[in-house]
Structure formats: C-alpha cells, structure tokens
Amino acid sequence: MNNELPATDPRVKLLAAKIKKENFKPDALIEILHSAQNSYGYLPMNVLAYIAKALHLPPSRIYSTVTFYHFFSLKSKGEHTCLVCTGTACYVKGAQAILNELEKKTGLKAGQVSADNKLGVQVARCIGACGLAPVVVLDDEVQAKVTTDEIINKIIDKIGTK
C-alpha cells in the first residue's frame, strides 16, 4: 500500500487516540473505521494500512470489512453530498423520479462525484424519516417532502454553479 501517514496531521493524532482508547482491540475495528471516516470524509488506503498495523490485523481483513459495509467509502464523497433516500416510503412517493432527474441535471450517477470534487450524489436505503417522504439529505441536513427543483436550487446555493 502507499505512503505512510504524517504523524503531525491532527487527523492521525485523532485516529491514534481512538485506537488507544479502544485498547488496540481488533473487535473495535468498526468503531475505529467510523472515527477515521469522520475525520477524513472517506477511508484512504494509507489510513487502512495504518489501522491494520496498529491492530495487528492483516490488511485483507480490514479491506474485506470496509468493502462489506455500505457506510464506508474508499473514495472521497465530495465536498457537498446529496443523498437521495430510496426506502419504501420514499419510493412510493416518487423518489426514483427525483433521483433520475437529479442524475440528469447534475450529470452524475448515484455514487459518483463531480470532477471538481464539489458534489457527490448518493442513495440511501432508508434513513428512517419515512413520515416526511420523499427526503433528500444535503450535507447531513434532512430535507423533507422535497421536489427536484427545490433540491437543485439548494445545491446551486451551496456550490455556486451548475
């Protein structure tokens, strides 16, 4: 795997502290990955290598765990994220049409990030806000009973153009 992490990076310090807090226990792997993704926004390969070394786990075990769970991402999710809920309640209320139109208007498919890394489009299986369907989460903020135009306008407000 690629280069080592700079020890002066505050994110590395945070990660080291978390690993220490969990007593270097391999069973806390998922907790540690959560914490790493919180500070990095995603899980870069060198971070995974660092965790593998610290927990004395084979890198393959880390990689297999990371790729198993939807929550973890090996790629940057973009500076701003637009997450469309496609759970049943949202589906019944037309989430698929919203997603299709969003994909058309942004030119990004679900799971992709724009070339300038400004915007990422994602889908979720259900965020549990079914009473407010259809919902879209813009940068961790839940938007209730949305329409595509509303979302497009909010995205434009956030990233300026497009």
Token representation of residue 29: 């792997």
- Quick check: 26 binds another protein (CB under 8 A)? yes
Token representation of residue 109: 């498919």
CA-to-CA dists, residue 93 to 24, 32, 100, 146, 152, angstroms: 46, 37, 14, 10, 18
- Find out whether 82 is annotated in a ligand binding site: no
Q: How far apart are CA 115 and CA 148, in angstroms?
A: 22
- Quick check: 82 binds another protein (CB under 8 A)? no
Q: How far apart are CA 64 and CA 133, in angstroms?
A: 34
- Quick check: 111 binds another protein (CB under 8 A)? no
Residue type, 72: F
- Binding span for another protein by CB under 8 A among 62-70, 102-110, 112-120, 154-162: 62-70
- Binding span for another protein by CB under 8 A among 9-17, 89-97, 99-107, 153-161: 89-97
Residues making up the chain, counted from first to last: 162
Number of neighbours of residue 121 by Cβ within 10 angstroms: 23
Q: Least distance from C-beta 120 to another protein, angstroms?
A: 16
Among 21, 100, 128, 153, binds another protein (CB under 8 A): 128
- Quick check: 87 binds another protein (CB under 8 A)? yes
Number of neighbours of residue 134 by Cβ within 10 angstroms: 28
- Quick check: 74 binds another protein (CB under 8 A)? no
- Quick check: 31 binds another protein (CB under 8 A)? yes
Residues that bind another protein (CB under 8 A): 25-31, 33-34, 64-65, 68-72, 86-89, 91-93, 124-133, 135, 141-145
